[in-house]
Structure 1
Amino acid sequence: MPTYAYRCADCGHSFDIYQSFSDATLTECPECGGDLRKVFGSLGVTFNGSGFYRTDSRASGGSDSSSNSSSSNS
């Protein structure tokens, strides 16, 4: 289930919530009852954790994967 970020336009209260794609968008602030807005980041998808480098899926058989894995830790 995706996580959505909301912020109240009236009081500034912000929070994250797990919602299904079929769930309705929240419109009322749980703190003050004001108008809620979804907060959109600059990226639509965020990858966390290991497994997203080109060398991660290769078999460790040569010196190529050990030199690339140390330089791609950004």
Structure 2
Amino acid sequence: MPTYQYRCTACGDELEVVQKFTDPALTTCPACEGDLRKVYNAVGVVFKGSGFYATDSRASKSASKPAEKTEKKSSEKKPATTAS
């Protein structure tokens, strides 16, 4: 469950509450009965696990180069041999 941070517009008190996504947002400050507002902060992103590889980075210049196309040479068409 996510943790939400709230700040009171009247007294400036801050609190963190663990709520479900489906729970309604808090609107009343428990300290002074003033209005509460959600505080939105920057989110830290960590890329780790089996879905991320060192080769996925676009930092290297070789990754920006398109892959070379390899063409298969068509083999000459020969008539089928019949068994006698």
TM-score tier after normalising by the smaller chain length: 0.5 to 0.7
Task: Name the structure 2 match of 1:8.
Answer: 8
- Structure with greater proportional helix content: 1
Unpaired segments ≥5 residues, structure 1: 56-74
- The count of aligned residue pairs is 51
Q: Map 1:45-64 to 2 at 5 A.
A: 46=44, 52=48, 54=53
Aligned residue for 1:42, secondary structure, equals coil
**Is it true that 1:33 corresponds to 2:12 in the alignment?**
no
Where in structure 1 do 4 or more consecutive aligned residues deviate above 4 Å?
none
> Aligned AA for 2:41?
G
Task: Name the structure 1 match of 2:24.
Answer: 24
CA offset at residue 47 of structure 1?
Answer: 5.1
- Give TM-score, length-normalised by structure 1: 0.59
- Give TM-score, length-normalised by structure 2: 0.53
Whichever of the two has the greater Rg, that structure is 2
Unpaired segments ≥5 residues, structure 2: 55-84
Q: Distance in 1 between matches of 2:39 and 2:31?
A: 17
What RMSD, in angstroms, separates the aligned Cα atoms of the two structures? 1.9
